[in-house]
A and B are shown apart, each in its own frame.
Chain A
């Protein structure tokens, strides 16, 4: 019993880290994703290509690799720049790079990665709204901004809830990648018990934490979907 409480305490501490990564990622990736989706639908081709290339790079490489690049990259680049021994301002600047905090690196990687996935969901939602909605707005003399925020956005939100909830539940589990750069989330804590005490069961016990949390999220999304059902589209 004593052991069970000790394990639960340590895993809860790890799960606290998991939740922090989850909350920060959502808080920044949701708005950033919308901005990126505007970029990928821009009428100015160079911007559209730039954003689409960026989304391709982020969605096309493993999040684990992005974590490694964002955390270790600056330190390695600085070392390389120092070895050049040049005083050209750009090289000099790179040579002064230092590592960011491990948690910051995790937050940056997750926010960028998830914002790119979210942006495609937003784009799908926005492009699915029929032209008639925009035309109706124009007839009523609304500006483009008014049409987007007052007519289109809420309908988009309703349509993208199912794919969003999918992605958000994936995010809960993806947080376990943070241990790649030694951010001590719940799986790391469980593996520490294997290495330190020869205890295997804490690793399997972590499933309970993930299941409870994703269960709560599922209920929350069901509730939101019901609340949104007044749009009959």
Chain B
């Protein structure tokens, strides 16, 4: 009993020490801004996935794409190197908070989830969610009302899932948009809801999904760049983005990758 008591007292003392430190040194401590942190590291670590046309490898094994070029320009403006890191998309907010990456810049739809977990930039590109199904069935399903009996594969937590649920569709959650396509191709789901950019890149001739297609667009959405909460880089990117829009650089980039600016 005495032993237990002494351990409890020792722990209590430790905490009271911590409390002391807290009161005396609170105003001495200065927080390092996020831009200073990145400048100190000499590089901006950009969290991405392979996602054409935003981020993909060219024939030399270098990262390219709309987001890759845009991020490189921003890093140049900050005076640091850019480093692309392919991450597990489910863990993007963990990666960001733990400083394994400095921003999420990968055609990320601005949603409530993104706004809650990051300090998100202004929208830079627009996208739409489309219903992909077997190309020969497209004519039978011209609008959402006719799709009430179908099962839809969606990426869990994706904008596509949110849109499908808003429209009262029956959904099955999978871990990636590419898996949603696989569900449709294998026949375990009737259709899926994915990005128009993804649908353009992954369906049609020359892919494993040559006999899939889309006709119905459900919702338009906007892409943003996620920085750590309270980061000063968000404001810097917004200013930089406005300048690139004014001088037409961003429009040229959007034309190159067939995207629509927000």
Q: Which residues of A does B touch, CB under 8 Å?
A: 68, 71-76, 78-79, 82, 84-88, 90-91, 98-99, 179-182, 184, 191-192, 194-200
Known: A72-B95, A195-B176. A85 touches B56 (CB 8 A): no
B86, A182: Cβ atoms closer than 8 Å: yes
In angstroms, how far is the closest chain B Cβ from the Cβ of A159?
Answer: 40
Alpha-carbon gap, A194 to B186, bound state (A): 14
Question: Quick check: which of B19-27, B70-78, B134-142 contacts chain A, the rest being far away?
Answer: B19-27
A75, B208: Cβ atoms closer than 8 Å: no
Is chain A's interface secondary structure helix, strand, loop, or mixed overall? helix
A79, B88: Cβ atoms closer than 8 Å: no
Known: A85-B25, A86-B22. A182 touches B85 (CB 8 A): yes
Known: A182-B85, A194-B182, A198-B209. A68 touches B21 (CB 8 A): no
Give the residue among A91, A194, A199 with the most B Cβ atoms within 10 A: A194
In angstroms, how far is the closest chain B Cβ from the Cβ of A142?
Answer: 38
Alpha-carbon gap, A192 to B99, bound state (A): 24
Residue B28 at the A interface, CB < 8 A? Answer: yes
Chain A residues with CB below 8 A from B31, complex form: 82, 85
Chain B residues with CB below 8 A from A82, complex form: 31
Q: Which residues of B does A touch, CB under 8 Å?
A: 14, 17-18, 20-22, 24-26, 28-29, 31, 49-52, 56-57, 85-88, 91, 94-95, 97-100, 176, 178-179, 181-182, 185, 201-202, 207-209
A86, B18: Cβ atoms closer than 8 Å: yes
A75, B98: Cβ atoms closer than 8 Å: yes
Alpha-carbon gap, A192 to B55, bound state (A): 13
A91, B176: Cβ atoms closer than 8 Å: no
B52, A86: Cβ atoms closer than 8 Å: no
Known: A179-B88, A198-B202, A199-B208. A88 touches B18 (CB 8 A): yes
A86, B99: Cβ atoms closer than 8 Å: no
Chain A residues with CB below 8 A from B28, complex form: 87
B88, A99: Cβ atoms closer than 8 Å: no
Contact of A99 among B26, B51, B99, B209 (CB under 8 A): B99
B98, A99: Cβ atoms closer than 8 Å: yes
Nearest residue (CB) in B for A179 is B88
Q: What are 18 A-B pairs at a CB distance below 8 A?
A: A68-B94, A71-B100, A72-B95, A72-B100, A76-B94, A78-B99, A87-B28, A91-B18, A99-B99, A99-B100, A181-B91, A194-B176, A194-B179, A195-B51, A198-B201, A200-B182, A200-B185, A200-B208
